[in-house]
């Protein structure tokens, strides 16, 4: 479908959709698009459609808003008629984009036939500045933007971590209502924001390291796939390095560069999420799930699962995922 043939044109500043020359309220005009206030100065925007192809969102970026976007599924592109340097990028699944593009116009076009599932956290720069100044925490690019009086642009993309994906899905799938929903969304939005700020901080601390070659990145990703598919009996680091054609040292540094954690940390994370999915399916009991993912001691598995998710595996299984949602 050509975007010029049929599109929904949304003015986020006016919170309206323009159709046939008439303005309609945003929430009634675009099904699957919702915006709510999380806290003063912090808004949450969610977008969920079976297929967003043909949707075009036209909006302007105010000078006082930082946007953190989390893409769970769907493909889109953003372009700016104001400048060719800023605002032009592709949005892909499992990615996070951080924007500060003050006083420019943007067009956001959704393409492809995949379901679209995205959320964004918009935070007032004064609120963000106050939060970041509380403990002296700084991220160089964001700090420059916050001090730049609307003249410094930020447009950073990164891969979504498993924890970010889990929390983003919990927000999208929240079944609570009323005050319970309000408190849940507030807590999860701040949790998601904290993970992203930590990711940006890690990127800053690793910024002086030489970047990995594309071929090495592919080998590291292959190594994680091997760990994920053999988690019941994973290879040693030396064997894993040999399997993907790198030395052990490059394997270790590569995992930190690509995934911000050790190979064991990635294995542990993948084990926990596999256990989460198996418990939610309710086909195996807790002991069988522990053995399936490589734990010979069920007690150790229960402790690890509770530390990771904050709930005992038997309670999670009994709850059948009513409050906690799998990311698989």
Q: Residue 86 and residue 106: Cα distance in Å, rounded?
A: 10
H helix count then E strand count, the chain: 12, 13
pLDDT, tens digit (0-9, with 9 covering 90-100), for 66-87: 889 999 888 888 777 665 556 6
Q: Considering the entire predicted model, what is its pTM?
A: 0.60
For residues 96, 102, 107, 113, the Cα torsion angle rounded to the nearest 10 degrees is 10
Greatest extent of the chain over all pairs of C-alpha atoms, in Å: 66
Are 17 and 24 a contacting pair, CB within 8 Å? yes
The reported pLDDT for the residue numbered 226 is 94
CATH of domain 214-319: 1.10.10.60
Distances in Å between the Cα of 127 and the Cα atoms of 39, 146, 196 are 10, 11, 16
Does residue 15 come out as left (phi exceeding 0), alpha (psi in the -120 to 50 range) or beta? left
CATH of domain 9-205: 2.60.120.280
Q: What is the average per-residue pLDDT within 194-220?
A: 71
pLDDT, tens digit (0-9, with 9 covering 90-100), for 93-139: 888 888 887 777 777 778 777 888 899 999 888 888 777 664 444 45
Residues of CATH 2.60.120.280 domain(s) within the chain? 9-205
pLDDT, tens digit (0-9, with 9 covering 90-100), for 178-191: 999 999 999 999 99
Residues of CATH 1.10.10.60 domain(s) within the chain? 214-319
Q: Residue 83 and residue 81: Cα distance in Å, rounded?
A: 6
Q: Edge to edge, what strands does the sheet with 116-124 contain?
A: 33-39, 42-49, 116-124, 65-73, 95-100, 154-159
The distance of Cα 62 from the centroid of its chain, to the nearest Å, equals: 23
């Amino acid at each position: 479908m050509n975007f010029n043939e049929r599109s929904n044109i949304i003015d986020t500043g006016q919170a309206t959709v323009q159709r046939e020359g008439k303005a309609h309220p945003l929430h009634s005009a675009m099904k699957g698009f919702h915006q709510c206030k999380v806290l003063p100065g912090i808004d949450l925007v969610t977008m969920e459609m079976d297929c967003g192809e043909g949707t075009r969102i036209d909006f302007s970026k105010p000078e006082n808003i930082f946007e953190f976007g989390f893409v769970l599924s769907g493909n889109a592109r953003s372009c700016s008629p104001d400048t060719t340097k800023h605002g032009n990028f592709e949005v892909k699944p499992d990615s996070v984009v951080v924007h500060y593009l003050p006083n420019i116009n943007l067009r956001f076009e959704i393409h492809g036939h995949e379901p679209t599932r995205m959320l964004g956290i918009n935070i007032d720069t004064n609120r963000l500045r106050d939060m970041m100044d509380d403990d002296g925490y700084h991220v160089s690019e964001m700090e420059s933007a916050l001090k730049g009086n609307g003249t410094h642009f930020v447009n950073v993309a990164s891969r979504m971590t498993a924890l970010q994906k889990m929390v983003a899905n919990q927000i999208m799938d929240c079944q609570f209502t009323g005050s319970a929903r309000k408190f849940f969304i507030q807590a999860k939005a701040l949790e998601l924001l904290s993970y992203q700020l930590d990711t940006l901080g890690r990127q800053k601390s690793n910024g002086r390291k030489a970047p990995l070659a594309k071929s090495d990145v592919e080998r590291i990703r292959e190594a994680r796939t091997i760990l994920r598919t053999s988690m019941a009996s994973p290879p040693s680091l030396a064997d894993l390095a040999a399997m993907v054609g790198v030395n052990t040292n490059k394997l270790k540094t590569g995992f930190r560069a690509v995934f911000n954690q050790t190979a064991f940390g990635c294995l542990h994370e993948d084990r926990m999420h596999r256990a989460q999915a198996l418990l939610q399916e309710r086909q195996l009991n807790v002991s069988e799930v522990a053995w399936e993912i490589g734990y010979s001691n069920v007690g150790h598995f229960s402790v690890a699962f509770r530390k990771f998710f904050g709930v005992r595996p038997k309670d999670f299984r009994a709850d059948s995922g009513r409050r906690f949602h799998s990311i698989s």
